[in-house]
Structure 1
Amino acid sequence: MIEQISGLPPGALGFRASGQVTAQDYERVLVPDVEAAFALNRKLRLLYHVGPDFTGFDPGAMWEDAMLGFRHFSGWDRVALVTDVPWLRVAALAMGFAVPAQFKLFNNIELDEATTWIGEAHSTDEEGNK
């Protein structure tokens, strides 16, 4: 399941993944919200929280995620991934260089820090990946 995280600053979207995430979750929640936000903004910031009750992605969900990223490849300003899922952290660290945005990885306990980082102005001495 995917649900939107509310209360983020303008130009930022947040989503929480829990349980088993399906392609239908992307089609019903994430894709329409992202497309609507891109209709109003040239650049977006994304906070994606994969919580402790997450059990996995269906193959269709992983495809939808990849396609959404490719459709808006240069439209991301900052991306924060918050998770303690080991395989997802490894994949994010391995592929983080390919994200055409500032990318930072956080642990679940650092969700508040990730939320703050998404809303901050860019810093020239940004530490990059965490």
Structure 2
Amino acid sequence: MIEPLRDLPDGVLGFRIVGTLEASDYRDVFDPAIDETIADGRGLHLVVVMDEAFDHLSFGGMIEDAKLLGRPLSAWKRAAFVTDHDVLAGIATVFGGLVPGAFKVFPLERRDAAIAWAAEGVGADVVGADVVGADGVGAETAGDAGR
């Protein structure tokens, strides 16, 4: 299940993954929020939290996750993945290089820093603009995120 995160800075989308992440979670919660942001011409500044309440990703969820890369490349500005799951952090680090825009993995204790990082540049970007630049592109491991 996907729960929206509350009390985020304007322009930042945030979600907490609880239990099993299913394909329907993407279709019902995640995709509409992303599509609305893109339709409004705003860049995607995203925070995803997978804490101890996360159990697993279903096969259908994996397929829907892969479809996220089908969104306009210029829409992706910053994506922060917040978790203490070493395996998930490692997978995210490997695949983070495929995500357009800037991508970082943060440990749970740095959730607020992840949100602040994802919010950088909100309002200055529109879909089609490249304001993030090469300094933020790529992935960091959870251990490197605070450096």
Aligned to 2:53: 53
Once residues 75 and 65 of structure 1 are traced to their aligned partners in structure 2, the CA distance between those partners, rounded to angstroms, is 16
Contact 1:11–1:41 (8 Å) recurs in 2:
no
Aligned to 1:82: 82
Once residues 42 and 24 of structure 1 are traced to their aligned partners in structure 2, the CA distance between those partners, rounded to angstroms, is 24
Aligned to 1:103: 103
Letter in 2 for 1:73: L
Aligned to 1:8: 8
User: Structure 1 residues 69 and 10 mapped into 2: Cα distance closer, same or farther (>3 Å)?
Assistant: farther
* Structure 2: gaps spanning 5 or more residues: 122-131
Paired positions, count: 130
Letter in 2 for 1:15: F
For each residue in 1:87-111, what CA deviation from the matched residue of structure 2 results, as whole angstroms up to 9, or x when unmatched? 2111111122221111111011111
Aligned to 2:21: 21
User: Structure 1 residues 60 and 37 mapped into 2: Cα distance closer, same or farther (>3 Å)?
Assistant: same
Once residues 51 and 74 of structure 2 are traced to their aligned partners in structure 1, the CA distance between those partners, rounded to angstroms, is 27
Residue 72 in 1 paired to residue 72 in 2?
yes
Please, what is the CA RMSD of the aligned residues?
A: 2.1
* Structure 1: gaps spanning 5 or more residues: none
Contact 2:14–2:48 (8 Å) recurs in 1:
yes
Once residues 110 and 83 of structure 1 are traced to their aligned partners in structure 2, the CA distance between those partners, rounded to angstroms, is 9
Once residues 68 and 127 of structure 1 are traced to their aligned partners in structure 2, the CA distance between those partners, rounded to angstroms, is 18
| Deviation (angstroms), 1:9 | 2.4
TM-score in terms of structure 2 length: 0.79
| Deviation (angstroms), 1:124 | 8.4
Once residues 74 and 127 of structure 1 are traced to their aligned partners in structure 2, the CA distance between those partners, rounded to angstroms, is 13
The structure richer in strand per residue is 1
Aligned to 1:36: 36
Find runs of 4+ consecutive structure 1 residues off by over 3 angstroms.
Answer: 121-128
Once residues 67 and 85 of structure 1 are traced to their aligned partners in structure 2, the CA distance between those partners, rounded to angstroms, is 23
Once residues 123 and 27 of structure 1 are traced to their aligned partners in structure 2, the CA distance between those partners, rounded to angstroms, is 30
Once residues 98 and 86 of structure 1 are traced to their aligned partners in structure 2, the CA distance between those partners, rounded to angstroms, is 19
